[in-house]
Amino acid sequence: MYGEISDIWGQCPNLTTLIFAGNNLTGSIPSEIANATNLQELDFSSNHLVGVVPKDLGRLASMVNLKLNGNELLGSIPSEFGAFTELEYLDMSTNNLNGSIPSTFGELVSLNYLNLSNNNFSQEIPFQLGQLFHLSQLDLSHNSLEGKIPSEMSNMQSLERLNLSHNNLSGLIPATFDGMRGLLYVDVSYNHLQGPIPNNKAFQDAHSFEGNVGLCGNVVGLQSCNKHVSKRKNNRKLVFAIVFPILGVVLLAFLAIVFIKTRRKKEPETDKSDIHDEEEVFSISLFDGKKLYSEIIRATDGFNSIYCIGNGGSGSVYKAKLPSGSIVAVKKLHQKLGREETSQKEFHNEISALINIRHRNIVKLCGFCSNSQHSFLVYEYLDKGSLASILSKEDEAKKLDWSRRVRIVKGVAHALSYMHHDCVPPIVHRDISSSNILLDYDYEPCVSDFGTAKLLNPDSSNWSSLAGTYGYVAPELAYTMKVTEKCDVYSFGVLALEVIMGKRLGDLISSFSSPSACENKLLKDVLDQRLPPPTPEVEDELTTIASVAIACRHSQPQSRPTMHMVSQLLSLQNATSTGGPGITLEQLIKI
C-alpha cells in the first residue's frame, strides 16, 4: 500500500481499530484522526511516516494499543499522551524522536509494554515511570539518556524485562533492585555505570554489563568488589588525618547552633509564620514537602476563612494559588493524628498508596503535610466544584444535560472499578456521595475526598468505625461495621439515582424498597424535570443506569454486583432495555 493516510478516517465515530502496518505509507499522521474518539487500537508501524506526532492523539481516551514504531517521526512525544489511562501497549521505537521522555507517562496506569528504543531521547529517565505498577517490559535502549537510574523504578514489581543499554547513564545501579523478584532480564551495557551490581537473578549475565568499566560483582567477566574495597583501605589513614579535624570543627559549630536555638525557644513568640518555616514538617509528597507546606501556609494566609471553599466531616477545603501559578485544593484535617505510633504508620501508608493512584476519574492526591500546627492533604483543583453544588442550583443543573449525566455515572463507575479491582491492595472509598464527586472544566467527574478510605488487606477482617454520608451508607454497616467493596457499590447506586433525578433521594428512596410502593410511579416521573425529555438513545442508557442502581442498592451485600460488572455493563454501547422511561419502577426493580 502506497500514498498518505487520509484525514477522512477521523470522520468515523464508531471506528475502534485502524491498522496500516508494514506498508509504504508516506507523509505525516493527520491530527484529524483524533476525532475518531472510539479508537482503541492504532497501528501505523513499519512505514515511512514523517513529521511530528500530533498532540491531538492524546484525546483518544479509549486507546489500548498504539504502535508507531519503525517510521521516521520527528520531535518530542506530546505530554498529552499522559491522558491514555486505558493504554496497555505503546511502541514508538526506531524513529527520530528527541527531547525528554514525558513525566506524564507515569500516569499511564494500565501500561504493560513500553518501547522507546532507537530514538534520540536525552535528559534523565523520569522517576515517575516507577508508578507503572503493571508494566512488564520496558525498553529505553539506544538513546542519549543521562543521569542516574531512578531508584523509584524498583517499585515496578511487575517488570520482567528491562533494557537501558547504549545510553549515557551514570552512577550506581539502585540497590533497591535487589527486591525486584519478578525481573527476568536486564541489559545496562554501554553506559557509564559503576559500583556493585544488585543481588538479583536477572543480573547474572556478563554481556548485560559490557561497556561499564566501573561495575563490579560476583559475575564472570566483572571485577570483584573486594578489589575496590582494598584500594580504598590504602587511603583510609590519609582520609582520617584530613576528616577528623574537620569533624571537630563541624561538631563545635553544631553545638553552637543548638545552644542558639535553645535560647530562641525560651523567647516569646514574635512571628508565627517564622515558626512554621523552622518547624519540622512530616510530608508524603510528589514534591518538596517542606517547601510545599510553606507555600500553602502563605497562599491561604494561615488557613484564613476567606480562602475556604467547603467543609466536611473530616476537614475544611481551601483554595490555594502557589507561586508557580498552579492552583491546588487543600483539605485541612480537623483532628490531629493519634499519638500511637501504629495508627500514624497505618495512616501514612494509606496516604502513600493513594498518592500512587492514577486514573482520569479520580482526583489526583499530590501529597500530605503535617506538623504540630496543621495536617492537610493536597489535591489537584477542579474548576466546576462538586456535583452536589451544581445539582442544587437551577441554572447550573440545566447545564448538566442527559449525555453529561450519563458520562458522570459511567466515570464514577470506572473509578470505583479501578479502586476495587486494579489497586493492590484494593481501596474502598467509604464515602461516595454527590458532595465528593468533583467536575472539571468539561464536566468530567472525579472521585474525591479519601479521608475515610480504607485499604483492604486480604488477611484482615477489615472491621472499622462507621464512616460515610447519611443516606448513602450501606445498611449492613449499622450492625456489622465490616468494610467491603460492596459498601461502595451501595453508595454508587444511591448516587446514580440522584444524578438522573437531580436531587437528593430523601423520602423517595423508600419508594424503591418494595414493588407495591412503586406500582403507580413511572421512571419518567422522577427524572430531573429541569431538563427536556431525553432522546430515544439516551432513554435506553437512563433505563440501564436505573436498573443497575437498584441492583446496587440490594439489601444483601452478596447480591449486589461488583463495580467491575457495573463498569462493563454501563460501557456496553447497545445496552438492553425494557421500554425506556415509560416503564414503572415496579417493572424496573424486576429487571
Residue 266 assigned as binding residue: no
Strands (E), 322-408: 327-333, 365-370, 375-380, 385-386
Tell me how far apart the alpha carbons of residues 269 and 353 are, in angstroms, rounded to a whole number. 38
Q: Which three cell numbers stand for residue 258?
A: 543548638
* One-letter amino acid for residue 165 of the chain: S
> Residue 349 is placed in which grid cell?
501508608
Query: What is the chain's length?
Result: 591
Residues involved in catalysis? 431
User: What CA–CA distance (Å, rounded) separates 69 from 47?
Assistant: 9
Q: What is the largest CA-CA distance in the chain?
A: 95
DSSP secondary structure letter of residue 28: P
Q: CB of 552 within 8 A of CB of 566? A: yes
Rg from Cα positions in the chain: 28
The label of the residue with cell 410502593 reads 517
Distance in Å from the first CA to the final CA of the chain: 50
- If we measure between CA atoms, which residue out of 225, 135, 122, 108 comes closest to residue 173? 225
Separation CA 16–CA 13 (nearest Å): 9
Report d(CA 200, CA 217) in Å as an integer. Answer: 11
Interatomic CA distance for residues 374 and 369, integer angstroms: 8
DSSP codes, 37-83: TT--EEE--SS---SBPPGGGGG-TT--EEE--SS--BSPPPGGGGG
**92 by DSSP, 3-state: which?**
coil
Q: Is 586 helix (H, G, I), strand (E, B) or coil?
A: helix
Q: Which residues contact 107 (CB under 8 A, 6 or more apart)?
A: 82, 83, 85, 128, 131, 358
Please count the other Cβ atoms lying within 10 Å of the Cβ belonging to residue 506: 9
Rounded CA separation 442/438 (Å): 11
Whether a cis peptide bond, with omega within 30° of 0, leads into 425 is yes
**Is the Cβ–Cβ distance between 164 and 187 less than 8 Å?**
yes
Q: Which residues are annotated as a binding site?
A: 332
Which positions make up the binding site for ATP? Answer: 332
